[in-house]
């Protein structure tokens, strides 16, 4: 079977399994197996029997809705690549916008102190230290397996990574932080059926579910950010697209400059607020 036919067969299998981007995923898996760039697969990839079997096994796994990134072992996020696998939330493209906001908030400051709560794989923290090298970045993760992945990704970067609950994290930094950023769990428990199998069946539960309305973690985050930030400091947190009004409502009252931000598809995606100076 030619490489072109192999890709077409894999694409059809993934499409029938409900994978959202079957052709792209098939190409990425084949590129992973062969080491040939996607653009050159049809003309340059020559698979031996071992590679064909490996590719078939990966396509079968993807058809079972195992996340693509778990199969390749990596995920791109802004300008960095992260190691990911079972036990850690796979960073999403939407979260790159939140990371970009945190980078813009920290960049102009001389020695900004940034805290990444619920760091997961360390995606936001790694992006910040990569793009704002003069920042002092701190990150925390509760889940033990996810913490292990964050250690791999943040080792040698200078990020102060700690394992624990964000609720009582970094008490030594109280009142000294410039930017707090977080991608907390925000899916309501009742929304189980609507969540994609890649997330529902493979991402850690701690990274997904957050009470009846999906905002339990956001409420904790609001208290923690208030404790950590210096006057004039800012907080940004991702939320579900259905929480464009309720998530900002968590910050109503004592915060100023409360704004909700849209993702590239025009959906509500993250909220930012400022602690009064």
The first and second tokens of residue 209, run together, are 């579910």
Q: Give strand pairing partners of 115.
A: 138, 180
Say whether 186 counts as a known binding-site residue.
yes
Which H or E run contains 257?
strand 256-262
Say if CB 64 and CB 25 are below 8 A apart.
Answer: no
Say if CB 166 and CB 224 are below 8 A apart.
Answer: yes
CA–CA–CA angle 190, 192, 195 (5° rounding): 130
Q: Distances from the Cα of 61 to the Cαs of 17, 28, 117, in angstroms? A: 11, 14, 32
User: In 10 A of CB 24, how many CB atoms?
Assistant: 14
Say whether 79 counts as a known binding-site residue.
no
Say whether 183 counts as a known binding-site residue.
yes
Question: Tokens 């998530």 — which residue?
Answer: 247
Question: Tokens 């539960």 — which residue?
Answer: 205
Say whether 108 counts as a known binding-site residue.
no
Say whether 185 counts as a known binding-site residue.
yes
For residue 166, the SS3 value is helix
Residues of each annotated binding site for substrate: 183-186
Binding residues, by number, are 141, 183-186
Which residues define the annotated binding site for S-adenosyl-L-methionine? 141, 183
């Amino acid at each position: 079977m030619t490489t072109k036919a192999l890709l077409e067969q894999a694409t059809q299998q993934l499409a029938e399994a409900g994978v959202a981007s079957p052709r792209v995923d098939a190409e990425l898996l084949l590129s992973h197996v062969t080491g040939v760039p996607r653009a050159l697969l049809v003309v340059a990839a020559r698979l031996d029997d071992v590679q064909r079997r490996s590719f078939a096994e990966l396509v079968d796994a993807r058809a079972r809705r195992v996340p693509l990134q778990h199969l390749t072992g990596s995920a791109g996020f802004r300008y960095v690549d992260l190691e990911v696998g079972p036990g850690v939330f796979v960073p999403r493209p939407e979260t790159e916008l939140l990371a970009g906001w945190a980078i813009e908030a920290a960049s102009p400051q001389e020695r900004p102190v940034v805290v990444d709560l619920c760091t997961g794989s360390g995606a936001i923290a790694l992006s910040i230290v990569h793009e704002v090298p003069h920042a002092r970045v701190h990150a925390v993760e509760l889940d033990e397996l996810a913490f292990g992945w964050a250690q791999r990704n943040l080792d040698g970067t200078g990020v102060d990574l700690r394992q624990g609950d964000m609720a009582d994290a970094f008490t030594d930094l109280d009142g000294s932080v410039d930017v707090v950023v977080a991608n907390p769990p925000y899916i309501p428990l009742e929304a189980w059926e609507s969540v994609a199998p890649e997330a529902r069946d493979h991402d850690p539960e701690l990274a997904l579910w957050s009470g009846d309305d999906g905002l339990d973690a956001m409420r904790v985050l609001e208290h923690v950010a208030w404790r950590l930030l210096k006057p004039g400091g800012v907080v940004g947190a991702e939320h579900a697209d259905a929480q464009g009004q309720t998530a900002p409502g968590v910050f109503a009252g004592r915060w100023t400059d409360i704004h909700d931000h849209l993702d590239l598809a025009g959906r509500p995606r993250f909220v930012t607020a400022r602690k009064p100076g």
